[in-house]
Amino acid sequence: MHKIIEVKPLPNYRVWVRFSDNCEGEVDLSDLVGRGVFAIWDNPETFSKVSIDPEMHTLVWPGGIDICPDSLYEDLTGVEVSDGTSQQIR
């Protein structure tokens, strides 16, 4: 699993993240807004309260919302992460 070591909320439901391997960049999460548990993000102020869980290295928000770092890494790099291996997404 990739570890997130830094995060910054950005406008329009995007986040800038840095991983422990120094891979960094912006990820657009706007497609999740209003869906299921992500309905709480209808308030942009809530979205801006993103932080990093110190044990799991996931992104977390108030209300118990979290996002797996591997899925963010895949979105950012195009490298599929599964079972501890990486494959380029074609």
Half-sphere exposure of 86 (CA within 13 A, CB side): 10
Strands 85-88 and 79-82 come out as antiparallel
Q: What pLDDT, on the 0 to 100 scale, is given for residue 90?
A: 34
- For 38-89, how does the pLDDT look when each residue is reduced to its tens digit (9 = 90+)? 999 988 999 999 999 999 999 999 988 999 999 999 999 998 887 554 444 3
- The domain total for the chain is 1
Q: How many CB atoms lie within 10 A of CB 46?
A: 14
State the residue range of the domain holding 15: 4-88
We report the CATH number of the domain holding residue 13 as 3.30.2020.10
